A and B are shown apart, each in its own frame.
Chain A
Amino acid sequence: EAGVTQSPTHLIKTRGQQATLRCSPISGHTSVYWYQQALGLGLQFLLWYDEGEERNRGNFPPRFSGRQFPNYSSELNVNALELEDSALYLCASSVGARSVYEQYFGPGTRLTVT
C-alpha cells in the first residue's frame, strides 16, 4: 500500500512569489493535515481538511491557504512568500479525523525562500 506522497521534494522560490505544495493521502484516508517545521523547531499545525472542507487552521496568516480535492488529495498555497516561510512542510493523512499520533506522515516538501 502506497504511503502519503508529497510533491515536489524541494522547492526554491524568491520572496514575494507564490508556492504550491501537493499531497496525496493514503488510499481510503479522507483527512489531510498540513504542518510546518521550521529549522530548529517542532512541527506546527497549519491546516486540516476532511471530506473536502477546511475543518481548522493553526495560528498562521491568511496567505497560507489550501484546498482538498474530490479524490482527497490536497494542495497548500503560500502567497507573498517571506524568508521565514522557509521550512519543511509535512502532510499527514488519516481515516477521518484522528489525533496526530494516528496520522500517517509524508516525506515532506522543503521550501526555501531566497
Chain B
Amino acid sequence: AQKITQTQPGMFVQEKEAVTLDCTYDTSDQSYGLFWYKQPSSGEMIFLIYQGSYDEQNATEGRYSLNFQKARKSANLVISASQLGDSAMYFCAMSHKTSYDKVIFGPGTSLSVIP
C-alpha cells in the first residue's frame, strides 16, 4: 500500500538558515510523482515543488529544492535562507502520474521560523 511518512511533527529554524523537512514514501508503482505543499494558517494549500520518479535531476524552485533519493524512497524538502513567512505546515504527497484521485498526503510538519 502507498504511504507517506513525515517524522517531524514540528521544526524550528532560525531566520536566514536552511532547513530540511523529511519525507519518506512507500509505493509499488514504477511511475509516480512526489510533491510538497505549504499550508499557512489561512488554510489554503500552496503548491511548492514537484519531482517525477524518473527525473534524474533534483527539482528546484527558487529557495525550495527537493532532495530525491529513489533507492532510499525519500523526498526531503530543503528550504534555503528561511524567512518569517515560511512559518507554516508543510505536506509531502505522492501520486501516480496519471491518476487524479490516487493521491496520498503525509501528516505534515509544522515549521516555525524564529527571528
Residues of A whose CB lies within 8 Å of any CB of B are 33, 40-45, 48, 55-58, 88, 90, 92, 97-102, 105-108, 110
Which of A40, A43, A98 sits near B45, CB closer than 8 Å? A43
B positions within 8 Å CB-CB of A: 4, 33, 35, 42-47, 50, 91, 93, 95, 97-101, 103-108
Please determine whether B106 and A42 come into contact, CB atoms closer than 8 angstroms. yes
Instruction: Output the least CB separation between A111 and chain B (Å).
Output: 12
Contact B100 A99 (CB under 8 A): yes
A42 / chain B contacts, CB cutoff of 8 Å: 4, 91, 93, 104-108
Docked CA distance A69–B43 (Å): 25
Which listed residue, A41, A57, A98, A106, touches B107 by the CB 8 Å rule? A41
- Are A107 and B44 in contact, with the CB atoms below 8 A? yes
Whether A99 lies near B95 (C-beta < 8 A) is yes
Q: Is there contact, CB below 8 Å, between A44 and B105? A: yes
B96 to chain A, nearest CB (A): 9
**CA distance in complex: A40, B89 (Å):** 10
| A57 CA to B100 CA, complexed, in Å | 10
Contact of B101 among A58, A90, A101, A105 (CB under 8 A): A58
